[in-house]
Structure 1
Amino acid sequence: MLIVIRGIGLAALLAAVSMMLAQQFGTAISPLIFAILIGLVLGNALPNLARPGWQPGLEFCKKRLLRIGVAFYGIHITLQQVAEVGAGALVVDAVMLLSTLALAYWLGRRWLGLDATTSLLVGSGSAICGAAAILATEPVVRAKPQQTTVAVGTVVLFGTLAMFVYPMLYPWLGLSPQAMGIYTGATVHEVAQVVAAGTAMGDDVAQTAVIAKLTRVMMLAPVLLVLGSWLGRKSGTQAVRAPLPWFAFGFIAVVVCNSLLSLPPIWVAIIKHLDTWALTMAMAALGLGTRLGGLGSVGWKPLVLAAILFLHLVVSGLIVTHMATSWL
């Protein structure tokens, strides 16, 4: 038991530092990003952390705590919020999510020669909700730590770029505040990045953008279920069947409970805070277990894939938003 607590305690310490750093930057940078960066630096600077004494606790954070965190991520969403943004946002979210995932897999495998795991991780981060989606997809595709870390790096780079690009483009796009909010929420990577970009364009844009983004996040669960089933059939053998993402069912259950039950606001706030802690600790553990030497073997191709997906989100997302908000 003590050997497990040791690793958990280290991940919790890094999570605390990461959350304090995130507070200094307001809503611009998620604590998950700080956690994986700090873990990556510390893990490579102190190789002794790879010894067995630390690993049981860190493995607990990367696996069990991660799945619990993903399940309770549903506390951020209600079905009422989804209904508020209307059919237009649902259409844009669904079209951009599915097209981005399909494009990531096809380009990654056929054109860039990437393995399916890396392609799907980069695709899920771009298509759904950044680092949280990558963490949720990791156990389904059985990713290695370096593959997950590279995918998270692409979210950091292009999601941060989007925070500056979208407010600059807004005056030239001819979109209403609601349409711009839908466009932002349906195409920017991280929730924190959507909040930062939306706030820079005004409260009306920000409110719609966050709801559209959370609607997109809600699609994480069915995507994981379909992906797990598809990988299982694609493998063709029972022995390597993709694991059933039980935490996806938990995610759906939390969304439904949050929608149907009038939970006291203080309870919701506490659950959100604990959930952020769980995901941040998982990110810290992931960073601690990643070796920079392993990242070199992945190469530059994931970055190229993420860049193409970013352009797809910006350009195709604008076209789809114009069409959906005009017709629906």
Structure 2
Amino acid sequence: MNTLSASSLAFQPWQWLRRTTPGLALSTAVALTAISLAQLPWFTQHGLGALTLAIVLGLLLGNTVYPRWAHATTPGVALSKQQLLRTGIVLYGLRLTFQDIGQVGWAGVALDALVLASTFGLACFLGLRVFGLDKRTTWLIGAGSSICGAAAVLATAPVAKGRAQDVAVAIATVVVFGTVGTFLYPALYEWNATHGWLPMDAQQYGLYVGATVHEVAQVVAAGAAVSTEATNTAVIAKMVRVMMLAPFLLLLSAALARSLRQEGAAAGGAGGISIPWFALGFVAVAGIHSLGILPDAVVRVGVELDNLLLAIAMAALGLTTYWKAVRAAGIKPLLLAAILFAWLLGAGGLLTYWLG
């Protein structure tokens, strides 16, 4: 009896590998295809990065041929959108250094913080009280709009206990309005230069783009449409905004724990705080990167690995999201995201002018 138990334990890793390999291979294949497509000029010019393309390809497969393979691939797909996602968020810290704060100054940090807090606060008010959406959808749309698009949605999902369809809806809004922004922001800059509405140079425009546009790829596209100086400032401002992801997740986790404690007290139970350890790992990796002790080659490989892991997670998310579930969410999430986009566009511009 004991011998059989020991044998079964010895074979568990191989059994786990056999169960997860098909789904992991499928998610990886979709991710690699998306990464390759993202390097094509048309996708680059329109700010459509690998993460966006990965979920689109995943959705296409998930709603056509994937259901036939679901039984064999589910364990690996689940691994991709859970454990690999958290690892990807931790490695995201390799893109940042604390020295980035000095590049934009305290005015840039204050701008990013005000944009994040006001946008997420507005999302909570409108989503919960005006549109009557559930907390998961509201928080995910708010996080995607206020911080860094799809990466923020993916990072917030484990904390908010978001379902696949909630995450897909939130990412869809990021894709739609972020893509609109890549065309609208440069056009507004040119109109403003022609009519002189607000005094804004290329550097201030970059600060504006970095503080308000959803995705990093979209920030690059919107900045590059004006100048190299605008692009550089936009990317730095965006990276400072991304840094705020970790404290945001910790605060959100604490707020959720408080809500659960209140509900538990009413029901005679209790709720405890669930610390998003991957957020702390994200800060730790960014801190190590800030010290300058990592060779450039290691950082480059780490960033490439991170791109792959996040793309795999997005592909897995798309594979397990069905159009019926997304359509069931209705028009309200789109309206919420549209209002948040208008807020970022208008209030973000005024804040940039005021602080810049």
TM-score range, shorter-chain basis? over 0.9
Deviation at 1:88, TM superposition (A): 1.3
Shift >4 Å, 4+ stretches: 238-242
**Alpha-carbon separation, structure 1, partners of 2:270 and 2:320:** 26
- 1:197 aligns to what? 222
Identical aligned residues as a percent: 46
- 1:142 aligns to what? 161
2:118 counterpart of 1:99: yes
The residue matched to 2:44 in structure 1 has which SS? coil
Deviation at 1:308, TM superposition (A): 0.1
Could you tell me which of 20, 38, 43 is aligned with 1:22? 38
The residue matched to 1:290 in structure 2 has which SS? coil
CA contact (8 A) 2:212 2:345 kept: yes
- 1:287 aligns to what? 318
Deviation at 1:242, TM superposition (A): 5.7
**Alpha-carbon separation, structure 2, partners of 1:42 and 1:110:** 36
2:278 counterpart of 1:247: yes
Which amino acid in 2 is paired with 1:266?
A: A
- 2:144 aligns to what? 125
**Alpha-carbon separation, structure 2, partners of 1:125 and 1:187:** 11
> In terms of Rg, which structure is larger?
2
Equivalences, count: 324
**Alpha-carbon separation, structure 2, partners of 1:164 and 1:239:** 49
The residue matched to 1:79 in structure 2 has which SS? coil
**Alpha-carbon separation, structure 2, partners of 1:190 and 1:295:** 21
1:1-328 pair list within 5 angstroms? 1-24=17-40, 25-26=43-44, 28-46=47-65, 47-51=67-71, 53-171=72-190, 172=192, 173-236=198-261, 237=264, 241=272, 243-325=274-356
CA contact (8 A) 1:139 1:243 kept: no
The residue matched to 1:243 in structure 2 has which SS? coil
Q: What are the superposed Cα offsets for residues 74-114 of structure 1, whole Å, 9 maximum, x if unpaired?
A: 11111112211111110110000000001001100000010
CA contact (8 A) 2:38 2:53 kept: yes
Q: Which moved more, 1:104-113 or 1:21-30?
A: 21-30
- TM-score, scaled to structure 2: 0.89
Which amino acid in 2 is paired with 1:133?
A: A
Which amino acid in 1 is paired with 2:252?
A: L
The residue matched to 1:26 in structure 2 has which SS? helix
CA contact (8 A) 1:43 1:49 kept: no
Q: Which moved more, 1:158-167 or 1:237-246?
A: 237-246
Deviation at 1:15, TM superposition (A): 0.5
Q: 1:196 to 1:97 in 2, by over 3 A?
A: same
Which amino acid in 2 is paired with 1:10?
A: L
Q: What are the superposed Cα offsets for residues 138-195 of structure 1, whole Å, 9 maximum, x if unpaired?
A: 0000011011001000000000010001101113042122211111100000000000
CA contact (8 A) 1:74 1:255 kept: yes
CA contact (8 A) 2:258 2:271 kept: no
Deviation at 1:196, TM superposition (A): 0.5
**Alpha-carbon separation, structure 1, partners of 2:234 and 2:336:** 25
- TM-score, scaled to structure 1: 0.96
**Alpha-carbon separation, structure 2, partners of 1:30 and 1:300:** 25
CA contact (8 A) 1:49 1:288 kept: no
**Alpha-carbon separation, structure 2, partners of 1:106 and 1:247:** 28
The residue matched to 1:299 in structure 2 has which SS? coil
Structure 2 regions of 5+ residues with no counterpart?
1-16, 193-197
CA contact (8 A) 1:146 1:295 kept: yes
Deviation at 1:239, TM superposition (A): 6.2
Aligned residues: CA RMSD? 1.2
